[in-house]
Amino acid sequence: MRPVTWLWAYFLGVLVGLWRTDAPPVQRIGLALLWPIALLACVVTLTMLSISAAVLFPMIGIAALAAGGAAWMIWG
C-alpha cells in the first residue's frame, strides 16, 4: 500500500472517532488521534500471550515450532 492510503485510513479513523466517541470534547480528540496505538497494543498483547502459551503448554510450543519449521522448509 502507498503511504497516502495509510494516511487516508488514519484520517478516516480520526473522523469516526470524533463522531462516535461518547466523551467530552478534549477526551474525544485525544482518543481519536491516538487510536492507532490500540492496534499496536493488540499485536504486542497477542504476541506475549502466544509465547506464554508455548512455554506453559509444551505441546503448543512443539506444534508451533514444527509448523514454523515446515513453513521455512517449504517457502524459505
Give the ranges where 1-76 is alpha helix by DSSP (H): 3-20, 25-33, 35-56, 58-75
The larger pLDDT score, comparing residue 66 to residue 4, is at 66
- Cβ atoms 35, 14 nearer than 8 A: yes
Same domain, 44 and 73: yes
Same domain, 71 and 45: yes
Same domain, 27 and 56: no
Same domain, 41 and 24: no
Report CA-CA distances (Å) from 40 to 23, 46, 50, 75.
Answer: 23, 10, 15, 27
Same domain, 29 and 3: yes
- Cβ atoms 35, 9 nearer than 8 A: no
Q: What is the DSSP letter of 1?
A: -
**Hunting for cell 524459505 — which residue is that?**
76
* Report field, pTM of the whole predicted structure over 0.75: no
Same domain, 41 and 12: no
Q: What digits encode the pLDDT tens for the residues 3-15?
A: 778 788 888 888 8
Same domain, 44 and 75: yes
Same domain, 17 and 47: no
Q: Which residue range(s) make up the domain with 69?
A: 37-76
